[in-house]
């Protein structure tokens, strides 16, 4: 849902439940410009949270479901009442009128903060943040922010993608791994994750190729199924994905091949196919964000967490995984967590015969979030 371009997300490297922006002392007004973030913050009973979703979280196991599970976790962690959460579901991120209407309704209902989970909500957040300086707007992904009451949040999902690539690379017998991608290589979020996945495959199986098929939609169940089936017809025996529904996993199960899910644990959807799933724990961020308003410590910083913060990871490996997979994953995970390996390290070869990166360095967050418009050398576009 999110097309990350051009500009970098600001970093927050703190451990545990750290909102970018939970660093103030609470003794003075923060830099947000809001009258409500002075000493003491907003009383918990006065907090009201708006959430804008592109689909219905009750349907499926994908992107919206996972974000909403984070909202549920936040509500439980902070002890908020149901009446303090206002959800607006099925708001198309390509319909500016519907987006604005949903957000204005949240504001009219008294929401102090609005979490806008899809890429296309960004511009409306920007405009309304200026109009309503006492309301906080947090946009999932994107690149815009004002350093005050409008921020963006995302995470280092490429770390978990790399681990999932190891799982797929060790499992494939055809040396053909498929990947259903929502967007093409102009989208750095999708492409960076795909590249990390392909690099994980290559690290344990240099002979394997990763075949990618693009749906050009964040949420298109039919296209996701068709793409997965086309990849399976090409001989791919493991199917990964960066798209919203579990349909690629369902297609894999139906065809008797394997899969790597995304967003939530898709073994519940395709128990006989899913090797592991690349997952988000959005409750880490949402809890910290709302807590910062209660504490009066919001400072308008963007958020970019990773495995250290518990924001991203992979699920427990299934019994279908190849021998030695757990050991290979654990070794790579340890290297990522201790900082000795950063996925996009050194000179990286693309599938067009060019290179990116430099020996002895790693790609910057700006490059990862906005400049990965190339495919790793073992990727084949279908």
Strand-strand pairing, 355-356 and 150-155: unpaired
CB 17 within 8 A of CB 284: yes
275-301: average pLDDT: 97
- Quick check: 378 pLDDT over 80? yes
Report phi then psi at 289, rounded to 5: -65, -50
Span of 171-175, 218-222, 356-360 with lowest mean pLDDT: 218-222
State the chain's mean pLDDT as an integer. 90
Q: Which two tokens stand for residue 369?
A: 């979030």
Q: Which residue has the tokens 């660093």?
A: 23
Which residues are paired to 30 by β-bridges?
A: none
24-34: average pLDDT: 33
Q: Which pairs count as long-range contacts for 37-44, CB under 8 Å and 24+ apart, including other chains?
A: 37/293, 37/296, 37/298, 38/296, 39/296, 40/296, 41/292, 41/293, 41/294, 41/295, 41/296, 41/297, 41/298, 42/112, 42/293, 42/294, 42/296, 43/294, 44/78, 44/79, 44/80, 44/294
Q: Which residues contact 358 (CB under 8 A, 6 or more apart)?
A: 346, 347
Give per-residue pLDDT as tens, 69-119.
999 999 999 999 999 999 999 999 899 999 999 999 999 999 999 999 998
125-151: average pLDDT: 96
Q: Which of 301, 354, 339, 242 is nearest to 3 (CA)?
A: 242
Between 248 and 11, residue with greater pLDDT: 248
> How far, in Å, CA of 233 to CA of 241, rounded?
16
> How far, in Å, CA of 372 to CA of 143, rounded?
15
Q: Is 10 helix (H, G, I), strand (E, B) or coil?
A: coil
User: What domains, with CATH codes, occur in the chain?
Assistant: 35-155+281-305 (3.40.50.2300), 157-277+316-381 (3.40.50.2300)
Give per-residue pLDDT as tens, 232-285.
999 999 999 999 899 999 999 999 999 999 999 999 999 999 999 999 999 999
CB 288 within 8 A of CB 138: no
Report phi then psi at 240, rounded to 5: -100, 175
Looking at residue 6, its pLDDT comes to 37
> How far, in Å, CA of 380 to CA of 201, rounded?
13
The sign of the CA dihedral 129, 130, 132, 133 is positive
CB 12 within 8 A of CB 305: yes
């Amino acid at each position: 849902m999110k097309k990350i371009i051009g500009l970098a997300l600001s970093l927050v490297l703190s451990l545990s439940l750290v909102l970018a922006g939970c660093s103030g002392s609470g003794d003075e007004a923060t830099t947000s410009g809001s009258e409500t973030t002075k000493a003491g913050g907003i009383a918990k009973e006065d907090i009201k949270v708006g959430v804008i979703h592109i689909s219905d979280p009750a349907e499926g196991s994908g992107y919206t479901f996972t974000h909403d599970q984070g909202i549920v976790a936040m509500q439980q962690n902070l002890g908020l009442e149901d009446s303090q959460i206002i959800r607006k579901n099925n708001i198309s991120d390509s319909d500016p009128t519907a987006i604005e209407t949903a957000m204005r309704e949240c504001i009219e209902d008294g929401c102090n903060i609005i979490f806008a989970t899809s890429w296309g909500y960004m511009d409306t957040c920007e405009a309304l943040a200026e109009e309503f300086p006492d309301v906080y707007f947090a946009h999932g992904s994107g690149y815009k922010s004002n350093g005050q009451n409008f921020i963006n949040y995302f995470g280092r999902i490429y770390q978990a993608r790399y681990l999932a690539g190891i799982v797929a690379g060790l499992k494939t017998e055809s040396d053909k791994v498929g990947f259903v991608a929502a967007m093409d290589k102009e989208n750095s979020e999708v492409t960076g994750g795909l590249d990390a996945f392909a690099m994980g495959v290559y690290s344990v199986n240099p002979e394997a190729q990763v075949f990618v098929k693009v749906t050009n939609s964040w949420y298109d169940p039919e296209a996701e199924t068709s793409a997965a089936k086309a990849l399976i017809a090409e001989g791919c025996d493991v199917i990964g994905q960066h798209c919203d529904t579990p349909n690629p996993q369902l297609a894999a199960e139906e065809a008797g091949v394997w899969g790597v899910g995304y967003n939530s644990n898709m073994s519940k959807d395709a128990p006989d196919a899913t090797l592991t799933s690349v997952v988000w724990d959005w409750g880490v961020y949402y809890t910290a964000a709302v807590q910062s308003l209660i504490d009066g410590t919001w400072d308008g910083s963007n958020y970019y967490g990773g495995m250290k913060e518990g924001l991203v990871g992979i699920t427990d490996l299934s019994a279908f995984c190849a021998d030695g997979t757990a050991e290979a994953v654990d070794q790579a995970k340890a290297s990522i967590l201790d900082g000795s390996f950063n996925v996009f390290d050194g000179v990286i070869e693309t599938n067009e015969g060019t290179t990116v990166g430099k020996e002895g360095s790693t790609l910057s967050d700006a490059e990862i979030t906005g400049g990965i418009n190339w495919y790793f050398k073992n990727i084949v576009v279908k």
